[in-house]
Structure 1
Amino acid sequence: MDDTRKYQLMAVAVSALSFVLSVRAARIAIRSRVYTPKLFDTNHCPPPTLYQLDPFHALSIASCASVSGFAFTASSICLLADIRSVKDLAKRFRAALSIPEPAENVQVDPETQEIENYLNSLLSSRSK
């Protein structure tokens, strides 16, 4: 097993673990917010809450769950499809969408070449 495959397996494992932990944290947070009245509690008073921290906690848990879920999905697909680099991923997307490969040595018309040379000379003179 080569190094890229090991790194892919580690990425899948770490993203799966973070996804499971964030979903578990969301479940614990939801269960802790359930209001169960006690025997002598008043029914007309709402339960005490922290109005500033609850939305922050909900947003942070949901953001962590969605990002880790996306990372888990993407890394699993790359592992299963044997995609080892970003270039390989781009080639697969181009092949799936039937987009032709970009040409390496394309002939440029003289006007464009002149503008490119002028811009290169400007940039090289500024860097000195």
Structure 2
Amino acid sequence: MPVLNDGAESARSLLPLLVERPIRLWEYHVSHRTLVMRGRSGDDDPSAYVEVVFTDVLGMKLRSYSYSSLEIREANTGTEMADFVPVPERHRERYLNLVVSGDGAEGFVVCANVHLREGR
């Protein structure tokens, strides 16, 4: 799985990102502005997991329960998130406006970066 970790430009080049397994909101660290979504990696090992980590989060609107799969893509301009999270013009290139969708529901995350990682 790709790891998106070299800043907003690198993340943009790898979007859209599709996680084809159940995943849910796992944790949010207010002081570090980090949002984590987690699901089982699909291996035979029950301790294996996959995480989508959003860093430097300015705002979000997500379901609090699980998604059977997840798509993350860059948003078009003029969306609800621009009104919800106004980012000053001088900082717009640093942040990603991401649409997070799955199971017919659509939300968003405004963040500086997104990582996909697996672990045990």
The TM-score with structure 1 as length reference comes to 0.18
Give the structure with the larger strand fraction.
2
The TM-score with structure 2 as length reference comes to 0.19
